[in-house]
Structure 1
């Protein structure tokens, strides 16, 4: 998964674009991002003809210094597979014996 960030000067948000390559999607029919900043609700990514998925989400910059996120692949058979970003900025334990990917919303 690749992420791109656009910091807005007019609002306390950063636009984070999440993109999951066709290879990483492994034939999934749907992909969602679960993000602490958005109350862990599944945010759908749009599927493109080439097999990759993409979505841009607004994450607040005035609440915390960083946010953890994981993404969920919904496979063709309807099962869910949770995975972390292969290219995450960092990882943090999630309390379930696994790690979550971390995206920073602080301008460098």
Structure 2
């Protein structure tokens, strides 16, 4: 799930997954962090979810995926679009 908050000239995007699915650590990786799994690991929230937040320029589009333990890559079904194997987030 994607959550958005408009900032001046930028968009705060929070990538959200259930705390227990999939098991183990998960990171959001994309062209906004050079596909670096260490850049944005999802952290537990008080609502039973886990999330990572990035700030992106408005009027832009970015590819992303999630990377879980065991080199398990997966997409966000609620992404704005998909371009082959990647989800897309539009700001």
Query: What is the TM-score when the length of structure 2 is the normalising length?
Result: 0.82
Contact 2:19/2:44, CA 8 A, preserved across alignment:
no
The aligned residue for residue 2 of structure 2 is 3
| Counterparts in 2 of 1:49 and 1:6: CA distance versus 1, 3 Å | closer
Give structure 1 regions of 4+ aligned residues with deviation exceeding 6 angstroms: none
Count of aligned residue pairs for this structure pair: 89
Consecutive unaligned residues of structure 2, counting only runs of 5 or more, are: none
Alignment of 1:1-108 (within 5 A): 2-9=1-8, 12-22=9-19, 25-26=21-22, 28-42=23-37, 43-48=40-45, 52-61=49-58, 65-74=60-69, 79-93=70-84, 99-105=85-91
Gaps of 5+ in 1: 94-98
Please tell me whether Structure 1 or Structure 2 has the larger radius of gyration of its CA atoms.
1
Q: Specify whether residues 61 and 50 from structure 1 end up closer, same or farther in structure 2 by C-alpha distance, changes over 3 A only.
A: closer
Residues 30 and 47, structure 1, Cα contact 8 Å, conserved in 2: no
RMSD between superposed Cα atoms in Å = 2.0
